[in-house]
Amino acid sequence: MMAWKIDEDGWCDGAVRYDSPYCDARPEGAQIDLLVIHNISLPGGHFGGPHVSDLFTGRVDYNADPSFADLRGLQVSAHFFVRRDGALLQYVSADQRAWHAGTSTFEGRPQCNEYSIGIEMEGSDITPFQPRQYHVLAALTAALAARYGLAHVRGHEHIAPGRKTDPGPYFDWNCYQECWLGALRERPALALTSRVLGFPSAR
């Protein structure tokens, strides 16, 4: 199991860093207590390649695929991106507000970007995710929970129902939770500093 740490500036020591311009400071006093899981593929249904990183860093080649015309003017990012092979990329310090959730609400609180961390899984609503991705996501979740005192994990679909559907029906919430518990068992020090995370009910 990966043994990662989030440093004092909000960067994960196990991630490849790409700095995104699509972020800003969180409101003063914001408590980061929500983790939001997304899925993404560019072009849709195609995996690998540079296009997701290009989107999050403002370098999209709009001529690379006809569908990219719809991305013009889009300013979006996430804190982390977990590729199909388990590679972990980071675009925004977890201390900062990444522009990942859009119009959203959680437990009556609007503007989830203000108090959440966004993780993109390379995938789609119609494709199962890879086992390696769950292990990486779980290890990252354990490190983030220890650093920030996270209390809740939700999908984009839960905080923007009717507008978003990701991470979708093929995301295995039970597998994710079991991998997270396994990560804590392997790293008891993290278990001591992490709160009990609230996961959505399995489908």
Rounded to the nearest 5°, which phi and psi values hold at 121?
A: -100, 130
CA distance 35 to 87: 19
Task: Note whether 189 and 5 are within 8 A (CB).
Answer: no
Q: Is 8 a catalytic residue?
A: no
For 28, which DSSP code?
Answer: T
Instruction: Please name which of 173, 137, 138 lies closest in space to residue 155, comparing C-alpha atoms.
Output: 173
Q: Amino acid letter at 101?
A: A
Catalytic annotation, pick one of 114, 120, 122, 157: 120
What are the beta bridge partners of residue 106?
A: 109
What gap in Å lies between CA 43 and CA 27, rounded to an integer? 34
Residue 116, beta-bridge partner list: 34
Residue count of the chain, please give it: 203
Which active-site residues does the annotation give?
120
